Every structure is written in C-alpha cells, then in structure tokens.
Amino acid sequence: MGNKKLGRQSVALATPPSVAGYASVVGKKEGEGPLATTFDLIQQDDTFGEKSWEKAESTMQKLALSAALDKAGLSASNLDYILAGDLLNQCIGTGFAVRGQNVPFYGLYGACSTMAESLSVGAMLLDGGFGTHAACMTSSHFCSAERQYRTPLEYGGQRTPTAQWTVTGSGCVILSSEGAGPYVTHVTTGKIVDKGIKDANNMGAAMAPAAYETLLAHFQDTGRRPSDYDLILTGDLGQLGKEIVLDLLHRDGLEVPNLEDCGVLIYDLEGQDVHCGGSGCGCSAVVLTGLLLNGMKSGRWKRLLFCGTGALLSPTSTQQGESIPCICHAVAFSTQK
C-alpha cells in the first residue's frame, strides 16, 4: 500500500469512501431559520418527548442514525463502526443513544469539531480496509449546553454580543467503502491552537486561528488553492470568527470569497436574536447533512471543503482562568473520486 500522507497533517484517501446516507434532526428554532427546508426532521417540542434535555439529545441521535440508515438502505447490523460524540460530560448524549445498537463504537470528543473528527476517522478506517460501513454522528442541545457550560435557563443570564446560540440538532452520515458519492477524498487533521483568549462567550475569536492554521496546512499539504473548491465551510465560528479568518487569510495574500460559516448560515442572525450565530456540535453537523450534501447530490457543488472547529474548554478550565485551546479538522468532499 502506497503512502497516503501528504505533508505534515493531510492524507489523500486511495479508495475514497462514499456517502451512502445522511440525515439531520433539529429543534423548533432551527426549523424557523433560513435552512429549514434542508432538514429531514424538525421537532416542535425541544424535549423530544423526554423528561430531560440530556435525554432529548440522545433521542435526537437515535432519530438521526435511524433516518440515515434508512436512506442508505442499511440496518445497524450492517455497520462496522459508530463514531460519535457530543458536548456533554463523558459524552453521555452519545453513550446512551448508542447503547442497544450492538455495533462497535468509538466515542469521540472534539467539541464543535466532532462531526469533522468522526468523518475523518471513519473515512480513514474504511480507506484502510478495516470495514465497509461506518456511521459518523454528533449532536448538541441548547438547553443541555447552557446547563453545563453557563447557567441553567431558569437563571435568565444575559448574553454578550459575541455569544453564539448552541444549535439543537443532530446529524449523521453513513460512509460506505463503495457507492456513487459524494466521496471523502482528503482529510487534514488539525493541531491544538491557543492564542490566549479566555472569554468563553467569545468562542468565534478563540477558534478562528485554529481554522486559519488548518486551512493553510490543507492548501500547503495538498497543493490545492481556495479556488479548487466550490465552497469552503468553517464549523461554527459565527460572524465575528468568520471575519477574523478572512482577515488572517487576506494578510497572507489569500482571498477566499467562497468561504462561508455554518454558524452564520443556520440562523437569521438579527431576526432570531442569536447575536454572532450558531454553535455546538449539531451546528456544522446539520448544515452538512442538510444544505451541503443535498447541494452536492443535486449538482449545485462538486467540490466542498468542510472544516469543523471546536473550542476545547470546560467550566472547570474557565473557572480556573485557563485560556481556550482550539482545534479544526478539514474534510474534502467531491462528487468524483
């Protein structure tokens, strides 16, 4: 087997896995946003019929996995792996969602980059010949995230202008070693980047340098340019983080007019009062499994670079005065191998 490594951080997959099925499940607020028509299931009750927000998050993952498998024409017994995670302590949203599936499982944590991380690991597993089908999945819930990272909703805490709204949603992609595409062709694994930002309510600014570093690494390792992609999507930097990335690239002489951000796209920033935009594991996951893959299937885009970003903080690290380490993983999709 030839060397698939490109440069320091990237790999070119010799047998690119195909997207066999995908699905998105969102809550009421997301269903009122500009991408509403792209989602598979919009639930008007954000409890999803459960007694807690955390249980609701697990239910979202179950629904997303089931819908993605149905669209792929597969059952859980066909899966060689499930690779998934969420924002909650010990990834309980995922653990409880996956129990009973009887499928080999890797629990992943990359904060809001988890969708890109699961796709990266899943694609490399299938390309390596270690299986034929893998489910890549993640979720977040506004209420469970508020309870864990900030204050329970009942406290009515005021949100700063740089704050982002955690998306209530779950996305799942079923990868297959064979199929008609779209295909995962390249993966660029991010490095931890920490520029000393400590404000947990300004995660876009904290994550932007990580997105910038990964984009540079991807272009350098692969020899590609921004213009080689129809669309480049960062994870959930929000409006401020997106502007910072574009400015950093501009200073390097790189103009990227085709760069968008999932956190900016998912909501009407002013009309829905979400300040800088969306965030959370579910943000990039449902934009990918809604707008983006639907667009590739319809022929709107042929090449897409999906760059999930994550802020690897916790309430404990914030209370101890730590800065925010961040990560960004890039996954290249193409309608052709």
- Residues 112, 197 within the same domain: no
Question: What was the pLDDT predicted at 73?
Answer: 98
- Residues 29, 168 within the same domain: yes
Question: What was the pLDDT predicted at 2?
Answer: 64
- Residues 253, 236 within the same domain: yes
| Percentage of the residues of the chain whose pLDDT score is greater than 90 | 88
User: The tokens of 245 are what?
Assistant: 């990335």
What average pLDDT does this structure show over 220-247?
A: 97
- Residues 62, 208 within the same domain: no
- Residues 170, 190 within the same domain: no
- Residues 27, 122 within the same domain: yes
Q: What interhelical angle do 53-72 and 142-149 show, nearest 10?
A: 140
Give the amino acid at 81: Y
- Residues 199, 327 within the same domain: yes
Residue 285 has pLDDT above 50, yes or no: yes
Name the domain boundary from 151, 176, 201.
176
C-alpha count within 13 angstroms, C-beta hemisphere, residue 55: 6
Report pTM: 0.96
- Domain of residue 221, residue span: 183-334
Name the domain boundary from 126, 153, 176.
176
Residues whose CB is less than 8 angstroms from the CB of residue 24 and which lie 6 or more positions away in sequence, other chains included? 38, 39, 40, 41, 64, 169, 170, 171, 285, 286, 289, 290
Give the amino acid at 277: G
What average pLDDT does this structure show over 138-142?
A: 95
What tens digit of pLDDT does each residue of 183-210 get? 999 999 999 999 999 998 899 999 999 9
What average pLDDT does this structure show over 252-256?
A: 95
Question: What was the pLDDT predicted at 40?
Answer: 98
> Which CATH number is 101's domain given?
3.40.47.40
What tens digit of pLDDT does each residue of 36-47 get? 999 999 999 999
Per-residue b or e along 155-184, where b marks 16 or more CB atoms closer than 10 Å to that residue's CB: eeeeeeebbbbbbbbbbbbbbbbebebbbb
- Residues 136, 116 within the same domain: yes
User: 2 with 127: CB under 8 angstroms?
Assistant: no
Strand 326-334, strand 5-6: pairing? unpaired
What tens digit of pLDDT does each residue of 97-126 get? 999 999 999 999 999 999 999 999 999 999
Question: What was the pLDDT predicted at 300?
Answer: 97
What average pLDDT does this structure show over 80-104?
A: 96
- Residues 276, 167 within the same domain: no
CA–CA separation, 187 and 4 (whole Å): 10
What tens digit of pLDDT does each residue of 305-315 get? 999 999 999 98
- Residues 158, 35 within the same domain: yes
Question: What was the pLDDT predicted at 1?
Answer: 47
Name the domain boundary from 176, 211, 239.
176
- Residues 197, 316 within the same domain: yes
What average pLDDT does this structure show over 252-275?
A: 94
Q: How many domains does the chain have?
A: 2
User: 315 with 147: CB under 8 angstroms?
Assistant: no
Question: What was the pLDDT predicted at 156?
Answer: 62
Question: What was the pLDDT predicted at 155?
Answer: 61
146-155, 171-180, 210-219, 263-272: segment of lowest average pLDDT: 146-155
